[in-house]
């Protein structure tokens, strides 16, 4: 909707763009059923923020060309291991969810194209160890969590900006 009027399908041709915005729809489950499987490999950007989604399912791996994923302001508490198969992903925004120290896939560090990660406003109490093995990350936001310590091994991450405001680091 723009300025209070509905946008008709005639004005919005889904086939001409590589971005899908399914934000603010009240979804309680990941809405992959709304995106035909044969079109998923063409989607570069997926915005599904401000819903009530509790987990990212294994079907996320069918979005093979995904570069940007924004799942902010949901109720995410789990991300399926298959998430680590998104080899084109460059930006992952999952701020303001319910992610904790066990929520990220163990193979998260296999996302070699990842350049920006925002996990702010979650329930992390430790610096995610998977991130230490990702030297190509350029922007990392972990603010407003419950992280109390930054590991020394963070020195292996170079050329990046990190924000850890509003944590418990001593």
- The per-residue pLDDT for range 136-165, each reduced to its tens digit, is 899 999 999 999 888 887 766 665 666 667
pLDDT (tens digit per residue) in 61-108? 999 999 999 999 999 999 999 999 999 999 999 999 999 999 999 999
Cα gap 92→81, rounded to integer Å: 15
- What's the pTM? 0.86
Distances (CA, A) of 6 to 2, 9, 14, 21: 7, 10, 16, 15
Alpha carbon distance 60, 30 (integer Å): 9
Assigned token pair, 45: 């950007």
What is the Cα–Cα distance from 20 to 70, expressed in whole angstroms? Answer: 11
**Among candidates 57, 170, 76, which has minimal Cα distance to 123?**
76
Asked whether the predicted pLDDT for residue 12 surpasses 50, the reply is no
- For the domain spanning 17-163, the CATH number is 3.80.10.10
Residue (of 94, 101, 47) closest to 75 by Cα position: 94
């Amino acid at each position: 909707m723009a300025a209070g009027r509905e946008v008709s399908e005639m004005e919005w041709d889904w086939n001409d763009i590589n971005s899908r915005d399914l934000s603010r729809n009240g979804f309680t489950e990941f809405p992959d059923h709304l995106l035909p499987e044969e079109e998923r490999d063409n989607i570069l950007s997926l915005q599904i923020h401000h819903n009530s989604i509790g987990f990212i399912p294994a079907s996320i791996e069918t979005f093979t060309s995904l570069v940007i994923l924004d799942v902010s302001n949901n109720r995410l508490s789990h991300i399926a291991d298959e998430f680590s198969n998104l080899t084109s992903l460059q930006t992952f925004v999952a701020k303001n969810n319910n992610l904790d120290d066990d929520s990220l896939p163990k193979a998260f560090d296999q996302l070699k194209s990842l350049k920006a990660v925002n996990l702010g406003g979650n329930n992390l109490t430790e610096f995610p160890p998977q991130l230490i093995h990702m030297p190509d990350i350029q922007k990392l936001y972990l603010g407003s969590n419950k992280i109390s310590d930054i590991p020394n091994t963070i020195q292996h991450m170079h050329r990046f900006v990190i924000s850890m405001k509003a944590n418990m680091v001593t």
